[in-house]
Every structure is written in structure tokens, then in C-alpha cells.
């Protein structure tokens, strides 16, 4: 007896008939989906010089600067390099990584993809850096935001806003200038709490005339919650930080200020009271070569159990998490499979390479289905949205094709609409559902 038409769910009327049809639908849907970029370091145009864009910023991205120094002559020290004007720094990187050798690393290829997508293929073909600079000189920050968001197919990005950095806070306090809050959602970045960086916390307290106490730090963050209206707190977790036990906490006087008390007496209570998730980043170590500045940070393997303790002990707090160490990815997935208050996002930094994105995405889909956010860009330079999303989509799309084809051969028919629904989840919808919980 055949199925009556009424028992077929809405949207399942026209299943895709072959492996080829499925592959082509997935490819197209992933290419076309508009993404929520859940973590970037971008700033909107009202932040003036903090908004980074253009070829010289692309060429001096810290990934490329670190790569440049593997090749640089001994006479060009990091001190000398950073003392140069930005354009002169960019010239050195261009000559070394794009002219003296082929730009085959992921970060170098990213520059080429970006320029090509912007329509500058002919200038690239002629290796005409000057011509590229002339093209960028004709763009305006506002017009360029429109162009990049359209090309990269971005719904909105999350920004990183540090309440302890005066160069940033001046754009918000005492008077906030207008910007497009539909495109730029904010995130309150609080690494200083977990590193126990009391000097910079004190400066921020003084700036607002707040007392130097644990309660004062809470007040400071509450003011910033009101000012920037963040979607979440975010912090990179130092490798030395372990979740402090109740017993350890009981040894601290209520006025003790260190990373353990700032975590348990400030950050976690605030997250619960204000219903703000905390987005953690694990496994970075800063710096392993300070001379390289932002490019000098490294990767270590930390304990995934720190996150497990947080999820278990704070069921009312929602955690987003990403890990930098490749070896931690499997354990992280198992953890996410056990806790509804945990959401995994992106393939971070040294994991944002096609080989690793592919491996991580396969593990995630196999263990979590569509309940995770497949990628974030971590873009610091606006233009990077173009290549980071194009490259990631190519890899994630390929993995998804394989997954759907396997499902098809297992006996499950699929429509384009069903695949579209899933793809939208993986590129932002699952994040939004988690945030809504």
C-alpha cells in the first residue's frame, strides 16, 4: 500500500532524484546562503581608523606578517618592520610572498581570491600592486561595506568590543555615534577578567569613576552592557585557567580579585542575570614570540574538562565554544552532544585551513547533525570576509554533499527545501536558535 499524499510533510513534495541532483543542489545552496558571522574583529565605519580595509591591511594581516618573517632577511627585524609605514610593510610582504615565491599558503591565497572576487583579476594577472592601490583609493568606507557584505553574502557580523581599550571605548562613551546595528552586532570581550589583568581593569574603572572592587568590576561591565548592548560575552581562556572548585573559592575572601574570583563572582553571575551567553575560545597561548605582535601567538592543548565543568555547574548559563587545538575537536563534539547549554562555533584561526576545516566539519556533522555553527571568519580586515567565506563554503559544501549522498543511499529522499533549511542552520540559524533558547 502506497503512502497517502497527506502523510508527506509539507515541503517534501518533489524529492531530488539522483546523487548528481543532490550534489548540485547542496553546492548551489551553500554558495548562495547568507551567513551570520558569529565572531569577527571588524568595526563599522563610525569607528574611523579602527575599521581596517584595503590592500595594505590585507597584506599586513598578522597571518601574513608571521609568514613573511619565515622568509625575511636577518637585516629586517620585527622592530624595523613595524617601524615602517603600513604601505612599506605591505610592499615587503608582497615582494617576498607573492613575487619571490608563489602565494600558495591559505592566507596568501586568500588575498588573491579577495582581489579576484572584487573584479581585479587583470591587475592581479599583471602583479600590479600599484593599480590595486589606485582602485582601493577610489572606494569609500560606507560604499565598501555595502560591496563586501553583498559579495561575501553576509547577513550580519558579530564584532569584538573591548571595554578595557581606550582607543575603542572613545567611540561609545560618553557619546555613541550612529552605525548600522543590523549589520554589526556587538560582543563584549572580557579576556582581562580571565587573565586577571588588574592594571587595565583599574584604568577602565577609573575612567568611569568606579571603585576598585569586585562589585566595581560588575558595575563597570553592567554599564558597558547598557552602552553597547552585546549579544554575548566573549573571552579567550588562558591555558593556565582551570575551573575553580567550590572549595578553592571558599579560601578566597569576598574581596579577593584574581582570575578565579573574576570568573566565578563577576562573569558567570552577570551572564546568568543578564541572559548573556559566554563565548569562550580555548587553546591559544599568547604570545610565544612577542616580537611578532599579534602574529606571535601559538596553540596549546588545554583541558576540555574545564568547559565540561562550566556547562555542568552553570546549567542556566549558555556557552558558545571554539577550540584551537586540532586534537581537542573530537572531545569537544562529544561534550556538545551532552549539554544543551553548549554550542560549538567555527574553525578558529590555525584550524581555518581547508584540510582541517574538512576534518572538523565531518566529525561535527557525524556527531551533532546540524546543531552547530559551521564557521566564523575571525576577519580583522573587512575584505577578508570575501575569501574566508568563499574558501570555507567550498570545503563545508563538499563535506555536506558527501553526507547527503550517504543519506540518500541509506534510503532517505531529500528535497531542495529540506537541504536549504539545514544549510541555513549551519551558517547562522543554529546560532540564532541557540541564542533564542
Residues that bind Zn ion (CB under 5 A): 378
Instruction: Please give the residue whose beta carbon sits closest to ligand FIX in the complex.
Output: 378
Interaction partner, residue 173 (Zn ion, ligand FIX, none; CB < 5-8 Å by kind): none
- How far apart CA 421 and CA 375 sit, in angstroms, is 17
* C-alpha dihedral (124, 129, 132, 137), degrees to nearest 10: 170
Binding mask 179-218 for ligand FIX (x = CB under 6 A): ----------------------------------------
Burial class for 134, CB neighbours closer than 10 Å (0-12, 13-18, 19+):
exposed
Whether 154 and 34 have beta carbons less than 8 Å apart is answered as yes
User: Is the backbone peptide bond immediately before 321 cis, with ω within 30 degrees of 0?
Assistant: no
Q: Rank residues 236 and 371 by Cβ distance to ligand FIX and give the closer one.
A: 236
Ramachandran assignment for 119, one of left (phi > 0), alpha (psi -120 to 50 degrees), beta (any other): left
Interaction partner, residue 339 (Zn ion, ligand FIX, none; CB < 5-8 Å by kind): none
Residue from the set 47, 264, 281, 391 that interacts with ligand FIX by CB under 6 A = 281
Residue from the set 38, 236, 292, 336 that interacts with ligand FIX by CB under 6 A = 236
| Cα dihedral sign, 255-259-261-262 | positive
| Nearest Cα to Cα of residue 332 among 360, 352, 357 | 360
168 forms part of the interface with ligand FIX (CB under 6 A): no
CB of 105 to ligand FIX, least distance (A): 14
50 forms part of the interface with ligand FIX (CB under 6 A): no
CB of 369 to ligand FIX, least distance (A): 27
Give me the helices (H) in 301-414, please.
Answer: 305-313, 329-336, 354-368, 384-410
388 forms part of the interface with ligand FIX (CB under 6 A): no
Residue from the set 67, 168, 378, 422 that interacts with ligand FIX by CB under 6 A = 378
Please list every residue from 287 through 306 that binds ligand FIX, using CB under 6 A. 294
Q: Rank residues 264 and 380 by Cβ distance to ligand FIX and give the closer one.
A: 380
265 forms part of the interface with ligand FIX (CB under 6 A): no
| Nearest Cα to Cα of residue 342 among 378, 376, 372 | 372
- Kindly list the residues in this chain that would bind ligand FIX in the complex (CB under 6 A): 236, 281, 294, 349, 378, 380
Amino acid at each position: 500500500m502506497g503512502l497517502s499524499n497527506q502523510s508527506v510533510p509539507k515541503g517534501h513534495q518533489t524529492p531530488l532524484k539522483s546523487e548528481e541532483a543532490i550534489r548540485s543542489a547542496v553546492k548551489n545552496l551553500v554558495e548562495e546562503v547568507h551567513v551570520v558571522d558569529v565572531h569577527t574583529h571588524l568595526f563599522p565605519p563610525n569607528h574611523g581608523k579602527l575599521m581596517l580595509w584595503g590592500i595594505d591591511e590585507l597584506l599586513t594581516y598578522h597571518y601574513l606578517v608571521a609568514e613573511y618573517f619565515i622568509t625575511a632577511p636577518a637585516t629586517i627585524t620585527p622592530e624595523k618592520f613595524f617601524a615602517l609605514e603600513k604601505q612599506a610593510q605591505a610592499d615587503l610582504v608582497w615582494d617576498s610572498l607573492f613575487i619571490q615565491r608563489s602565494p600558495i599558503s591559505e592566507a596568501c591565497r586568500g588575498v588573491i581570491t579577495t582581489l579576484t572576487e572584487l573584479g581585479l583579476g587583470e591587475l592581479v594577472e599583471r602583479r600590479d600592486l600599484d593599480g590595486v592601490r589606485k582602485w582601493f583609493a577610489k572606494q569609500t568606507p560606507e560604499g565598501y561595506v555595502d560591496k563586501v557584505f553583498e559579495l561575501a553574502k553576509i547577513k550580519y557580523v558579530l564584532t569584538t568590543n573591548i571595554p578595557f581599550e581606550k582607543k575603542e571605548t572613545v567611540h561609545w562613551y560618553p557619546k555613541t555615534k550612529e552605525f548600522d546595528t543590523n549589520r554589526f552586532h556587538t560582543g563584549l570581550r572580557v579576556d582581562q577578567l580571565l587573565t586577571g589583568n588588574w592594571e587595565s581593569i583599574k584604568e577602565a574603572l577609573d575612567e568611569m569613576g568606579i571603585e576598585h572592587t569586585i562589585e566595581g568590576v560588575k558595575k563597570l561591565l553592567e554599564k558597558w552592557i547598557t552602552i553597547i548592548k552585546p549579544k554575548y560575552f566573549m573571552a579567550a581562556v588562558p591555558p593556565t585557567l582551570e575551573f575553580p572548585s567550590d572549595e578553592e573559592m571558599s579560601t578566597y575572601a569576598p574581596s579577593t580579585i584574581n582570575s578565579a574570583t573574576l570568573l566565578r563572582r563577576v562573569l558567570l553571575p552577570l551572564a546568568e542575570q543578564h541572559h548573556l551567553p559566554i563565548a569562550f575560545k580555548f587553546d591559544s597561548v599568547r604570545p610565544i614570540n612577542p616580537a611578532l605582535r599579534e602574529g606571535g601567538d601559538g596553540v596549546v592543548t588545554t583541558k576540555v574538562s574545564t568547559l565540561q565543568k562550566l556547562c555542568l555547574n552553570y546549567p542556566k548559563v549558555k556557552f558558545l565554544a571554539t577550540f584551537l587545538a586540532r586534537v581537542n575537536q573530537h572531545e569537544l563534539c562529544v561534550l556538545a552532544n551532552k549539554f544543551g547549554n553548549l554550542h560549538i562555533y567555527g574553525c578558529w584561526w590555525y584550524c581555518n585551513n581547508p584540510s582541517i576545516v574538512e576534518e572538523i566539519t565531518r566529525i561535527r556533522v557525524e556527531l551533532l547533525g546540524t546543531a552547530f555553527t559551521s564557521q566564523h571568519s575571525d576577519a580583522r580586515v573587512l575584505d577578508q570576509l570575501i575569501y574566508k567565506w568563499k574558501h570555507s563554503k567550498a570545503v563545508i559544501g563538499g563535506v555536506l554533499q558527501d553526507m547527503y549522498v550517504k543519506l540518500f543511499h541509506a534510503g532517505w529522499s531529500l528535497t531542495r527545501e529540506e537541504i536549504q533549511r539545514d544549510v541555513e542552520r549551519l551558517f547562522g540559524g543554529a546560532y540564532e536558535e541557540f541564542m533564542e533558547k
